[in-house]
């Protein structure tokens, strides 16, 4: 072996060592429900416009474009690392060669709590379908572990649920495609969404889940695409859409209290993404990094900005990795209950 090869091997060892975590993860398994904020490739083979397995997405991700809607890792990827996993959770659409016993990612770009959400972009994997996929995975895990052991295993997993943004962005606030805005006030709609989510959560609980991290909505009115399509003055956040997100969060937090009382064998926590986003005001200049098409996604093969650490948004919808990292750290290790209630993910997994 020549000197150069040895150096490369040493380099390879150290660069891969950052991915190698010594010891076991803090939970034996992690299941992820959600939308493009958590998707890691479930839409790649769907006939939907909501897919991004092309450059410049993934420019800062070791494997390049994977279907993640950002330049690097998603927030749940970073939480996965903080939990001590030595790999990212595989997407349901491609669990080939993966150990599903350690968890599966069902999240799908454009998905919502409601079945019709996001369907103007093509076929969808709504929360209801994600639950069906989980039912399928649970029966596969039961075959692997044995029916006597599967519940005990599933009880220890973390269930991360981050969904609802599209029920506003790709439903309620698109009255040209959906009738919901004519039928419900924003408050009624938020209540109906949280009610429907609650039904899904109880079904997931019925499949053995006991530790839930529920993620609230971020400031939807500050998403660049909303400002450019609905803004009257293109530098300011849309108040109506921010209010909608806050109304949703105001109902999700009491749901956490309610479920903790009703399901005494379980623990639910609420991650307040709106407060987390407000704490990132330094990055709040709302500048996106790539050139986007009318769908708000990066135009394929265009060159993104160089200073990705200084841009809060990668495309017109999705945060850059640097923002995801801040959000993940605050959800995992919250400095105050306003970020994570009644506890953060780091404490939840130690229960």
Ligand X SMILES: *[C@@H]1O[C@H](CO)[C@@H](O)[C@H](O)[C@H]1NC(C)=O
Residues of this chain that interact with ligand X (CB under 6 A) are 115, 119, 123-124, 126, 128-129, 132, 233, 235-236
CA 85 from chain centre, in angstroms, equals 17
318 is an active site residue: yes
Report the b/e string of 293-310 with b at 16+ CB within 10 A: eeebbbeeeeebbeebee
Instruction: Residue 239: count other Cβ atoms within 10 Å of its Cβ.
Output: 9
To ligand X, the closest distance from the beta carbon of 123 in angstroms equals: 3
- Using CA atoms in the order 41, 46, 50, 53, what is the torsion angle rounded to 10 degrees? 40
Which is closer to ligand X, CB of 233 or CB of 239? Answer: 233
To ligand X, the closest distance from the beta carbon of 166 in angstroms equals: 12
315 is an active site residue: yes
205 is an active site residue: no
333: left (phi over 0), alpha (psi -120 to 50) or beta: beta
Which is closer to ligand X, CB of 152 or CB of 199? Answer: 199
To ligand X, the closest distance from the beta carbon of 119 in angstroms equals: 4
Per the residue annotation, which of 36, 108, 198, 327 is the catalytic one? Answer: 36
Per the residue annotation, which of 133, 134, 225, 318 is the catalytic one? Answer: 318
Tell me the β-bridge partners of 340. 271
Which is closer to ligand X, CB of 27 or CB of 113? Answer: 113
C-beta nearest to ligand X: residue: 128
Instruction: Residue 268: count other Cβ atoms within 10 Å of its Cβ.
Output: 26
Per the residue annotation, which of 77, 167, 315, 344 is the catalytic one? Answer: 315
To ligand X, the closest distance from the beta carbon of 110 in angstroms equals: 10
**HSE-CB of 325 using CA atoms within 13 angstroms:** 10
Which is closer to ligand X, CB of 235 or CB of 264? Answer: 235
- Residues 261, 272, 233, CA angle at the centre, nearest 5°? 140
- Catalytically active residues, by annotation: 36, 315, 318
């Amino acid at each position: 072996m020549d000197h150069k090869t040895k150096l490369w091997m040493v380099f390879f060892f150290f660069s891969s060592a950052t991915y190698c975590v010594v010891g076991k993860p803090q939970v034996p398994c992690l299941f992820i429900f959600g939308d493009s904020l958590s998707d890691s490739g479930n839409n790649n083979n769907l006939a939907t416009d909501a897919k991004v397995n092309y450059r410049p997405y993934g420019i800062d991700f070791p494997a390049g474009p994977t279907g993640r809607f950002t330049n690097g890792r998603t927030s749940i990827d970073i939480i996965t690392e903080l939990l001590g996993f030595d790999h990212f959770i595989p997407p349901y659409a491609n669990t080939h060669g993966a150990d599903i016993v350690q968890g599966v990612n069902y999240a799908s770009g454009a998905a919502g709590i409601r079945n019709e959400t996001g369907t103007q972009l093509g076929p969808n994997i709504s929360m209801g379908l994600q639950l069906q996929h989980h039912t399928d995975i649970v029966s596969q895990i039961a075959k692997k572990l044995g029916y006597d052991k599967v519940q005990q295993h599933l009880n220890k997993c973390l269930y991360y649920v981050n969904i609802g943004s599209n029920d506003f962005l790709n439903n309620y606030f698109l009255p040209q495609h959906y009738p919901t805005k004519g039928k419900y006030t924003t408050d009624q709609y938020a209540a109906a969404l949280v009610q429907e989510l609650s039904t899904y959560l109880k079904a997931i609980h019925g499949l053995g889940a006991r530790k839930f991290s529920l993620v609230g909505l971020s400031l939807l009115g500050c998403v660049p695409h909303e400002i450019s399509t609905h803004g009257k003055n293109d530098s300011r956040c849309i108040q109506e859409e921010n209010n909608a997100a806050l109304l949703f969060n105001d109902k999700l937090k009491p749901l956490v209290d309610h479920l903790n009382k009703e399901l005494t064998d379980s623990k639910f926590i609420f991650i307040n993404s709106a407060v987390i986003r407000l704490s990132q005001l330094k990055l709040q200049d709302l500048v996106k990094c790539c050139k986007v098409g009318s769908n708000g996604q990066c135009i394929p093969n265009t060159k993104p900005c160089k200073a990705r650490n200084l841009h809060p948004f990668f495309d017109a919808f999705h945060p850059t990795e640097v923002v995801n990292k801040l959000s993940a750290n605050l959800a995992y290790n919250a400095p105050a209950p306003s970020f994570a209630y009644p506890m953060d993910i780091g404490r939840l997994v130690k229960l």
